[in-house]
Structure 1
């Protein structure tokens, strides 16, 4: 595929960045517990700290994602990628230097600040970059390839964490994150949206008129203005984008709720540690990589992105249900294998959204969806962190340690029901972004 040849350096950059950020996940639970509640397997303070960080991150990202996406349409993807990638290095370097209680507090504050810009922004801008360079009919496969590279980096990162000490894990992560920035600046070619890749969905204009006037005054307004509430509402004015936004919110609400709870749940329930966390995450990452590289290119043409989106969300719900009722540690490993199927939902949703807008609107569209997803990061800890802390404590109203994970699964079910209502557009003639001049 001709379009994919332009993505080689983007995939390499994504691998290095994801490798650096994901390899610390197995260790961060132990670091947090050791700093706040040394010698204990259950700690409500650690859960609330994690929840607070997610709320701050979600609020910041909700504002920053549409802004970064829209600025990347005007200034270029490469320029905007540099900011979050550099900021990512700082908190990793703090824990690479030391993990005392005081340094953990420094890390925590710095992580809260930098995550408002870094959380999800590299993925968002990478998707917009891919949309710039890949025709519409190949985007689902391209986004799947991006996710697959992220999953393979996740596997490699957790494998390294499995055999490294905690201090070495953070030192290596900071070094690789710095290498990702250098590689991106040296080798990634900045993209300029090519309106011939897909017909921009401009109201009242046909394809021929768009081709002869690729940047209309209306589009120039979209490119040069900061996204306003009016812009965001305009983006969501059609049924497909409204449904996609709802799916993005409830799907991410479920995922964030699970990720905020699962490691503390497994530590309290089955006494998992860094190495067992790494084993579990490697299984998930390997299954996701296999699925996105080999199964997704086959299933997208056969089923379509809309049906594959529903398949992914359904099995996301099933895997959360299995985690919530796990009666032995091996059940958690079996549930993790469902990542072969639930991993489809994110790239399929991004592809559906990408096809609703023109080539010069990709950054704003993906930024808006990322902002909606980030808003779920705000809501989720407010709901699931207290539930997790309560049902893992001795004061639980009834004996169901996985109750918060089951509630997260119900959110995934709402996203699944909504996704079943999304239909493939019959023609691309309606403007998704309509900004009054």
Structure 2
């Protein structure tokens, strides 16, 4: 674990800056689009549209980034998402008027196509490079713990500072994360060790081979055939992919709908959003129904590290980035579909045009998606490492 300390610091700072702005963004959106109102269909639809567009970009970019990181290294590919994610935060740190909100909206949509999920995906691949197969579940769990700690600290920080300061601090932390990563994080790509060892003997040959390899990587864009090859490589992989799909569908629905539901039904503001997020992160609860229900979300934190560990064990060492990118791409696909389903449902059942009186109907549907992921997870049967010592590869796809 000590060898991964710089990755942990990088991940903590990156997640810290990301989670800080979540309690505040709903109020910023409502104030820019529907000032003085607690219910705004435009804000729900616009947020859902943004989430869907980001998902479209992510489903293309995640497998590509994962594939490129297998050749060029995790650190090199981490630089891109961590750098571009600074831009939208800086815009709202400067101003949150309606005009600047739309500028933020455009840049957030474009940059999130690259950065959404990339840091987590590459961090998992970095860990898979650095630790043995038996230790990966612990390392993945530790990454989930780092993200949870950043969630709590970031949300707690937002609870006690103004909206303006929130975005300013988030921008500085995001910049610090990128700089720290570039200075301290060591590259893990295994090609380096082999190339360095043989360089003195056949430097010219290696140069030609590397040049040829680099050209082929840029020419070989991860295709549907690559994805299908990974899914067919192991029944466990395909079952885990289904779990990831339905789990991400539920998570995307929560992201698209829950904050606006609380705003409309309970009049929540930034501080109360922070309170309920802290309950999810810290495992406290009080008598109010929304807070009591929120504590159940804690069990969701067990799923991602377990799922990613299962995926990691189904592929060989040279396909870790591709495999993690594949699952991230499937999750991104769910993020396309989810807001298209749940944003209209939320807007409809919170309006006076609802077909029947059930304001939380979209939340029920989100719960059913989570239930489907849970049922699928029960039938996963993982193979022991001795059955697949090298792990399947898809290099011939």
- What secondary structure sits across from 2:85 in the alignment? helix
Instruction: Provide the residue aligned with 2:239 in structure 1.
Output: 243
Report the CA distance shift for 1:12/1:35 in structure 2 as closer, same or farther (over 3 A): same
Residues 223, 127 of structure 1: alpha-carbon distance in 2 compared, 3 angstrom cutoff = farther
Q: How far apart are 1:176 and its partner, in Å?
A: 0.6
Tell me whether 1:425 sits opposite 2:374 in the alignment: no
Counterpart in the other structure of 1:179: 176
- For residues 112 and 397 of structure 1, the distance between their equivalents in structure 2, rounded to whole angstroms, comes to 33
- 1:402 and 2:382 aligned: no
User: Who is 1:22 aligned against?
Assistant: 19
Compared with structure 1, are the counterparts of its residues 329 and 261 closer, same or farther at alpha carbon in structure 2 (3 Å cutoff)? farther
- Are residues 1:78 and 2:38 paired? no
Q: CA 1:88/1:222 → structure 2, altered by over 3 Å: closer, same or farther?
A: closer
Q: Once superposed, what is the RMSD of the aligned Cα atoms?
A: 2.3
Question: Which of 50, 55, 58 is equivalent to 1:53?
Answer: 50
Q: Displacement, 1:121? A: 0.4
1:137 corresponds to 2:134: yes
Cα deviation 1:182-218 (Å, max 9, x = unaligned):
100010001124899xxxxxxxxxxxxxxxxxxxxx9
Task: Check conservation: 1:69, 1:364, Cα contact below 8 A.
Answer: yes
Quick check: 1:73–1:223 contact (8 Å CA) kept in 2? no
Is residue 71–residue 191 contact of structure 2 (8 Å, CA) maintained in 1?
A: no
Using the alignment, how far apart are the partners of 1:269 and 1:140 within structure 2?
Answer: 40
Match of 2:264 among 264, 268, 271: 268
Alpha-carbon contact 1:51-1:260 (below 8 Å) kept: yes
Gaps of 5+ in 2: 194-212
Distance 2:253 2:3 in 1: 36
- List aligned pairs for 1:202-217, cutoff 5 A: none
SS in 2 for 1:338: helix
Deviation at 1:223, TM superposition (A): 11
Deviations 1:139-181 (A, max 9, x none): 1111111011111111111111111111111011001100000
Q: In the TM superposition, what whole-angstrom CA distance separates every residue of 1:349-403 from its partner, at most 9, and x where no partner exists? A: 0000000011111100000000000000100011000000001111111111110
Q: 1:414 Cα shift?
A: 1.0
Give the structure-1-normalised TM-score: 0.82
C-alpha distance in structure 2 between counterparts of 1:264 and 1:193, whole Å: 46
Structure 1 residue 64, shift from structure 2 partner: 0.2
1:351 corresponds to which of 293, 309, 313: 309
Secondary structure of residue in 1 paired with 2:288: helix
Deviation at 1:5, TM superposition (A): 1.8
Distance apart, 1:338 and its partner CA: 1.9
Structure 1 gaps of 5+ residues are 197-217, 289-327
Q: Distance in 1 between matches of 2:125 and 2:220?
A: 18
Distance (Å, rounded) in 1 between the aligned partners of 2:320 and 2:218: 10
- The alignment status of 1:370 with 2:365, answered yes or no, reads no
CA distance in 1, matches of 2:158, 2:64: 34
Q: Is the 8 A contact 1:35 1:101 kept in 2?
A: yes
Q: State the distance in 2 between where 1:110 and 1:330 align.
A: 37
User: Aligned pair in 2 of structure 1 residues 141, 431: CA closer, same or farther (>3 Å)?
Assistant: closer
Residue 8 of structure 2 corresponds to which residue in structure 1? 11
Give distance in 2, aligned partners of 1:239 and 1:433. Answer: 14
Distance 1:419 1:221, change over 3 A: farther
Q: Any conservation in 1 of the 2:68–2:217 contact (CA below 8 Å)?
A: no
Cα separation, 2, equivalents of 1:159 and 1:20: 12
Equivalent in the alignment of 1:168: 165
Tell me if the contact between 1:193 and 1:359 (Cα under 8 Å) persists in the aligned partners: no
- Quick check: 2:313–2:391 contact (8 Å CA) kept in 1? no
CA contact (8 A) 2:350 2:359 kept: yes
Q: How does 1:147-158 map to 2 (within 5 A)?
A: 147-158=144-155
- Preserved CA contact (<8 Å) 2:7 2:123: yes
TM-score (norm 2): 0.90
Structure 1 residue 286 displacement after superposition:
2.4
| 8 Å Cα contact 1:267-1:273 kept in structure 2 | yes
Q: How far apart, CA to CA, are the structure 1 residues paired with 2:382 and 2:216?
A: 28
The number of aligned residues is 375
